[in-house]
Each structure stands twice: as C-alpha cells, then as structure tokens.
Amino acid sequence: MKIVFLDIYTLKPDEFSWDGFDALGEVVMYDRTSSEELMERAEGAEILLTNKTVLDAESICALPSLKYIGVLATGYNVVDLDAARERGIVVTNIPAYSTSSVAQMVFAHLLTITQRVEHYTKEVRRGAWNAQPDFCFWDTPLVELDGKKMGIIGFGNTGKAVAGIASAFGMKVCLYTSKPQSVLPDGYIKKDLDDIFRECDVISLHCPLTSATSKLVNTYRIALMKKGAILINTSRGGVIDDRALAEALADGQDLWVGLDVMSEEPMPDDHPLLAQERCFITPHIAWATHEARQRLIDQALMNLKSWMEGNVINNVI
C-alpha cells in the first residue's frame, strides 16, 4: 500500500523512527503540502496521513484509490467527513495524546503571570537586584494560587488533568460542563458560564471550537471578569474574540492573559494583542513535547495497523 504523509514537518520527523510505517507499505513523506500540490502528491495513495492539510469533498472524490485518512491530531475538522463517509473511507484521529503536556502548559502560563520568573531573571542579569539596598527586589504583583478559584470550561481529558493540578496547588475548582454535579469529583463545583467569569480568579478554556463556543469569550464576558483575573487558552483560538480581548487590555482592564492558540495562526504582525504587556503568547506548542509527539506517532501507527487487520479504532465516522 502507498502511504503518504502530507505535512510531517511540525512533528520534527528526524527525532523519531518510522520503521513501523515502512513495514506496512511504501511510505512517502512531505514537510508541507499546499492545496495546489495535494492532488499530485496524493494520487494513487490508499492511505493519507494529514495534520493541517485540508481534505475537502472535491479532493476526496477525486482520489479513487483512497481508503483511509489518518488525522495526526485530535481535531479532525480538516477532513470533509460527509464526503469520506459517502466513499466508505475510514477516518481516524489521535485522542488524548497531549493531555499531560497541554495541562502542563496551562500552569506554565499561569506561573509565568503569577511569578514572572523570566522577567526577574532578565532583571537580575541586567543588575537590578545588585543595585538594591535590600536583600530582595520585585516590581510586579506576586500571587499565591492556594485558595484561589479556578474556573475550567470543558471537563474532558485535559480539563480533568488541569483540575487535578489546580487541586494540588490548593485551588478551588469550578466547572462549566454538561456533566451533572452528582458525577463530579468531590469538591468540584459546577457553575453557570457567566458565574465562572464573574467569580473565578483564573479561567482556563478546554472546550472544542463549535458554533456554540465560537467567541464564547467576548466583550460581554470579558467585562464580567474579576479585577486581576487571569485567562488561559490552550484549546482553540476561535473560542476567544481576540480583538475584543485586545481592546479590553488596551482600555486598561485589570486582566492577565496567557494564550497558546490564536484565531489566526500564525498571527499577523499587526495583531493588537502583540502590543499588550499583560498578554503572554506562545506559538501553539502546548501539544509539542517530545513525549506527546511520540505518543501521537505510536497511536497513528496503531490506528493504521488495526485498520489493516480489520479492527478499526479511533474512527471518527
């Protein structure tokens, strides 16, 4: 079988062994594939593996050999599922491979804001501490997490992991979830969405991007947030109206923000959030620890082998 990886670059393929795939067929790898290059590269392939390369209805219908699409991510919105279903093409994804890594990034952002380690390291190196008459020096707020309320929006795998870490810090966990209070862990409190924004010191987003969650964090809900509250997003950029968020920060709202995702990626050079000192942005890397990428590759191989053996796993249609 011909196996084509359409966009392998962000996995940093040189760090891993691909022998397991080589044993299953003829493997061709491309760093990136544009829409103009797609048909030529996918021609004759029975198996396509994609991360961000879009496989729309037109391209799926124009590839008669195609039998299997493996999405190298948890989200699978890059594939037209209706077209794949009509053709009888199996589509699989990689659930939960980055749960621990994303939860870790939530607290990397949170501790960046509350402790400002990078800021103080730079200040020490430039001599700011040496110049002080006292044994210590600080020029930003320093915040203790113990006892603070953490609002978690979405209580799937990553939301649960974040809640567990928050509890270990002594934080009070508040949840916006469809799950009933009766099935939630002891001490976790289910709340309405607007109450999360009104009451919580930290809000962490862990919901998928759907028509219901698009711009869930908007002008109205940003205005509800407590003085000095912290907003963290490691889910999908479109869950936040980032222009409204930039406007609130520019207008002086007492708010801190940590973002690993944006509604447009990469973000444009003139994006207004880049000018906001209270907004800390990382370039969509919460998922990208070596360990998480290894799990992704291992699961992608298992998904493919299982399909070949007639036992489809992690299928999304």
Work out the angle at residue 191's Cα, subtended by the Cα atoms of residues 209 and 280, and round it to the nearest 5 degrees: 50
32 belongs to the catalytic site: no
CA distance 43 to 30: 14
Half-sphere exposure at residue 247, Cβ-oriented, CA atoms within 13 angstroms:
11
Which among 109, 236, 293, 295 is annotated as catalytic?
236
Q: What's the maximum distance between 2 C-alpha atoms anywhere in the chain? A: 76
Q: What strands, in cross-sheet order, belong to the sheet with 47-50?
A: 26-29, 2-5, 47-50, 68-71, 90-92
Burial class (CB in 10 A: 0-12, 13-18, 19+), 154: buried
271 belongs to the catalytic site: no
126 belongs to the catalytic site: no
Contact 256, 230 (CB under 8 A): yes
Residue 238: phi and psi, rounded to 5, are -70, -10
Which among 265, 277, 278, 309 is annotated as catalytic?
265
- The CA–CA distances, whole Å, from 200 to 23, 88, 111, 148, 256 equal 52, 47, 16, 8, 13
- Expressed in percent and rounded to 5, the helix, strand and coil fractions of the chain are 40, 15, 45
Residue numbers annotated as active site: 236, 265, 284
